Amino acid sequence: MAGTFSRLLLATEHSEYDTGAEALAFAIARRCALPLAAVLPVLSNPEFEQVAPQLAAKADAEARVKHDALQASAQAQGVPLALQVRHGPEPYLEIVDEARERAADLIVIRRRGKRGLLANLLVGEMVFKVLAHAPCSVLVAPRAAQMWSRRVLVGIDPQAPSTTLLAQAAALAAECALPLRVVCVAAGDGARPAAQAALQAVVAQARALGADADGELRTGRPHQQLVEAAQACGADLLAVARHGGDSLARAWMGGTAQKVIGLAACAVLVHVNHPHPKADTT
């Protein structure tokens, strides 16, 4: 995996909801002997600091406690950690900006924090925005996440196969000596012949890249079929792609990807096909 990713960034608020992301980031850093950077975003703005300085001071004090606790945890596990506390009105922007400044190629983040509005039940609002605007791939970890050790599953769109997603998934599987399951989901029975042809070609590509790959064709709703396929074959890492720039990323994240992330029992790697140069502040 050190050949696939080399600059890891853990995004955490060091809460009970971040335990899986922290454990997974530490595990990756240890296994691959990689340095680990981390960003701890703190909600703040000048108006808040002026109107409620005592509350701002309390937030700073809590951030210092979390900083020290996270550093101690990393030290206890033998992981070099460069931790940055960043203040801003939009925590996701601090994470995205830190990733850009560090030229990170993988952000590790929790799936969600406290449950909020219905729209945010599957993926937390901050995490959703990071996923939509991240300049690199994002690994989303549920609270019980562990380092994958059984199988990698990659979901490929048969109508627009992502060669970069396939290459990333194949490299991860090969580096971890794990089998790779390639899953294509056809929209209906009429689409199965074309999807089958696409699947065969993609599996051949994965094998050419050094992966122990096989394929599976399913029919139905993509998110449901991918989650069920991962459970059925025992995959403990599921990889999907985020396509295009900001508008397409938001639209796609609102569909298949968000549902896969929210429903999968394992960690989900969201591969960014086309990183965009700057954060969208809208």
Q: Which CATH number applies to 8-141?
A: 3.40.50.620
Q: Please, which pLDDT band fits residue 1 given cuts at 50, 70 and 90?
A: low
Q: Looking at residues 99-126, what average pLDDT do you find?
A: 79
pTM of the model: 0.89
User: What is the per-residue pLDDT for 253?
Assistant: 52
Q: Has residue 193 got a pLDDT over 70?
A: yes
The mean pLDDT of the chain is 87
Give the right CATH number for 152-272 from 3.10.450.50, 3.40.50.620, 1.10.3470.10, 3.40.50.2000: 3.40.50.620
- The reply to whether 8-141 and 152-272 are identical in fold is yes
pLDDT one-digit tens code per residue, 12-54: 999 999 999 999 999 999 998 898 999 999 988 776 666 677 7
User: What is the per-residue pLDDT for 56?
Assistant: 76
Give residue limits of the domains in the chain.
8-141, 152-272
The count of other CB atoms within 10 Å of the CB of residue 68 is 12
Q: Please, which pLDDT band fits residue 243 given cuts at 50, 70 and 90?
A: low
Q: Please, which pLDDT band fits residue 5 given cuts at 50, 70 and 90?
A: very high
